[in-house]
Amino acid sequence: MIGRLLLNHPRATRHAVSAFVLALLTAGLYGMGIKSSWVGALMPASADWMEANPTAGQTLSAALIVLIAAVNWKVLQLLPRRQQIVGVWIELFALLMLFFYSFDLSFAFIAKKIGFLISQGVVTTLYISAISIVIATVIALAGAIAKLTGNGVVYGLATFYTSLFRGLPLLMQIYIIYLGLPQVGYVIGAVPAGILALALCYGAYMTEIFRAGIQSIPRGQSEGATALGLSSGQTMALVILPQAMRVIIPPTGNQFIAMLKDSSLVSVVGVWEIMYLARTQGQTEFRHIEMLITASMIYWILSIVLEFLQAYLEKHFGRSLRR
């Protein structure tokens, strides 16, 4: 009976469901303890009433937020898809900036320190990340080929390597390399130790990505290359890898972005990268939150650049699939 009623009145059903969802969201915001002070700031005449009726004020605050979000959703739905995306980014970025603004930041302090943070921290971070990425890619390709070979010794070495470096936390690897190698007579600097740890750790993860990408190519491709007289190395470089890159690029791009952020861990051994400078510069005037927010924004911008690079590479290697 209820099902027939819902089918006969689809518009009323949609409105009822929407109202129920809005009520749930309002209850959720109320349960989270949303404050009503912002309503009093926007409507000063209601400030006294809000203070005298905290429960009603909190409920009204939650309902207004849900109503504004619902109206905003409807307005965005009227726009073309590209403008919807731009609109969502602008709105969320504005909310993020408002959230940061509520911290009562000293923008003069940020302006004074950001130049050094970029010239020293960003350069060091990019230097470490770029070298680590190149080494990790070489290790991953070699490890993937080793795991696909029929030689038991080579396969055993590759599986031990990936198991060990995927099984240990990256921070522990940094400490072991930086503090452990001198115990066997090889003193290593902080920057080389960080690069080595990042390359070995992410090389292990990327080995599985490269292996899966190579295995995704049908066996007939390598058989056809062999029939044409290509060697195994030529087959891998000219036939298998170009096709496998469509599968390899997306997860590898994620690994590159993760490595960029994880490079902050090398600050524990005194490397002057972004995170290390954000902590030390913030200590000079007890402005830690200013430096941490600035560093987080820098990391985000660098990640966005890598995302665009990843998108370009995906488009480049996927051009054969476009009609």
Residues written for the chain: 323
pLDDT at 12: 65
Inter-CA distances, 126 with 121, 188, 203, Å: 9, 20, 18
CA-nearest of 161, 200, 164, 197 to 188 is: 197
Name every residue whose Cβ is closer than 8 Å to that of residue 235 and which is 6 or more positions away in sequence: 222, 225, 226
Tokens linked to 123: 């350069």
More confident residue, 39 or 246: 246
| High-pLDDT (> 70) share of the chain, % | 87
How many CA atoms are closer than 13 Å to the CA of 13, on its beta-carbon side?
9
User: Per-residue pLDDT for 3 more than 60?
Assistant: no
Q: What single letter denotes the amino acid at residue 80?
A: P
Instruction: For residue 159, name the pLDDT band (cuts at 50, 70, 90).
Output: very high
pLDDT in the model for residue 231: 80
| pLDDT at res. 9 | 55
| pLDDT at residue 7 in the model | 53
- How far is it, in rounded angstroms, from Cα 321 to Cα 78? 32
Q: Is the pLDDT of residue 5 over 80?
A: no
Average pLDDT over residues 181-192: 87
- pLDDT, residue 89, reads 92
Compare 45 and 80 and report the one with higher pLDDT: 80
Please, are residues 194 and 174 in contact by the beta-carbon 8 Å criterion? yes
Q: Evaluate whether 178 touches 193 at the Cβ level (below 8 Å).
A: yes
pLDDT tens readout for residues 19-34: 777 778 777 766 777 7
For all residues of the chain together, what is the average pLDDT? 83
Residue 32: what pLDDT?
72
Q: Is the pLDDT of residue 103 over 60?
A: yes
pLDDT of residue 322: 59
Superfamily the domain 108-321 falls into: MetI-like (1.10.3720.10)
Residue 286 scores a pLDDT above 70: yes
Whole-number pLDDT of residue 172? 92
Q: What percent of the chain has pLDDT above 90?
A: 24
Residue range(s) of every CATH 1.10.3720.10 domain in the chain: 108-321
Residues 108-111: contacts with CB under 8 Å, at least 24 apart: 109/285, 109/287, 109/290, 110/290, 110/291, 110/294
Q: Does residue 323 have a pLDDT over 80? A: no
**Is the pLDDT higher at 192 or at 19?**
192
CA dihedral 162, 164, 167, 172 (to 10 degrees): -120
Task: Grade residue 63 by pLDDT with cuts at 50, 70 and 90.
Answer: confident
Mean pLDDT of 191-213: 92
- Whole-angstrom distance, CA of residue 308 vs CA of residue 86: 16
The predicted structure's pLDDT at residue 161: 94
Q: What is the pLDDT of residues 234-282, one digit of tens each?
A: 888 888 888 888 888 888 888 899 999 888 888 888 888 888 888 888 8
Q: pTM of the prediction?
A: 0.78
The per-residue pLDDT for 49 is 65
**Per residue in 301-315, pLDDT tens?**
999 998 898 888 888
- The confidence score (pLDDT) of residue 105 equals 81
